[in-house]
Amino acid sequence: MKVEIQATADGSATLFVPSLDEHYHSVKGALTESLHIFIHMGLQECKAAEPRVLEVGFGTGLNALLTLQEGKRVVHYTTLERFPLPLEVVEKLDYPALVSAEAASSFLALHGAPWNQWVQIVPGFHLRKMETDFTTLQLKEKYDVIYFDAFAPEKQPEMWSQEIFQRMFECLDTDGILVTYCAKGEVRRMLQRVGFIVERLPGPPQGKREILRARKIFP
C-alpha cells in the first residue's frame, strides 16, 4: 500500500494513502489527536491496575508509543494491523522527537518486535502485534480498553458494522471502555444497540468537534 508523509497542523506528521484518499490521523494534528482520544479519554479513564489494551489499527505506532510513555501502570497491549508499514517509512515520521528524549529506542522496538507473540518492550509494557484485522480474528481474551482507530467508515465500511461492535462488546471486560474518533450518529446508535453506554465528548483542540467513548457497564 503506497503512502505519503504529510505534515499536520501541530507539527507532527501523518501518512496519506492516495488509493483510499485517506489520512492515518487528523490533518489538524496527529499527536494532539492521539493524545486526546486514546490516552486522555481512553487509557486515563481506565481504572484497571494493569490495563489490557486492544488497538484496532497499529498503523504508525503512535498510539502504542504514547501508551508506553504514559508509564504509570503495567500495560498489556495487543494491536492489530493488516498492512504493516516498512520501517524506513515510520522512521521518517520522527515521532520520538515530539514525545521525549528517551522515546527513540522504544519506538524502534515497537516496530521491530516480532509479530504474533508477546514481547516486553520496556519494563511494564508488554506488546503483542498481530498481523490481521478484527473482521477475521477470534479473540478469547478480555480487554479493559479498546482503541478503535480503523480508517473512516466510508473508506473501510467492513470495520464499522453491527457485528464488529457486538464482538468488541463481548471482548471487553466489565467496566471496559472503547474510544474512537468517529462520532457519526449511526456509529453511536450501533454501539448503543449492542449494549454500550455511549458518551459524546469534545474532540481534540482544533480538530473534530466530537468523539465517542463507549462503556460496558452492567447494573
Write out pLDDT tens, residues 152-202: 999 999 999 999 999 999 999 999 999 999 999 999 999 999 999 999 999
- Closest to 165 in 3D by CA, of 151, 146, 140, 184: 146
User: Can you tell me the distance from the alpha carbon of 92 to that of 83, in angstroms, rounded to the nearest whole number?
Assistant: 18
Tell me the average pLDDT across 22-28.
94
Beta bridge partners of 31: none
Beta bridge partners of 78: 54, 128
User: Can you tell me the distance from the alpha carbon of 171 to that of 169, in angstroms, rounded to the nearest whole number?
Assistant: 6
What's the chain's length in residues? 219
Is the distance from CB of 53 to CB of 76 less than 8 angstroms?
A: yes
- 41 class by beta-carbon count within 10 Å (0-12 exposed, 13-18 middle, 19+ buried): buried
Write out pLDDT tens, residues 50-97: 999 999 999 999 999 999 999 889 999 999 999 999 999 999 999 999
Percent pLDDT > 70 in the chain is 99
Q: Is 47 helix (H, G, I), strand (E, B) or coil?
A: coil
pLDDT confidence tier of residue 219, bands split at 50, 70 and 90? low
Tell me the average pLDDT across 132-138.
86
Parse the chain into domains and list their residue ranges: 28-215
pTM of the model: 0.95
The radius of gyration of the chain's CA atoms, rounded to the nearest angstrom, is: 16
Q: Which CATH architecture has domain 28-215?
A: 3-Layer(aba) Sandwich (3.40)
pLDDT at residue number 75: 98
Tell me the average pLDDT across 108-128.
97
- Determine which of 20-29, 65-74, 97-106, 140-149 has the lowest per-residue pLDDT on average: 97-106
Percent pLDDT > 90 in the chain is 87
pLDDT at residue number 101: 77
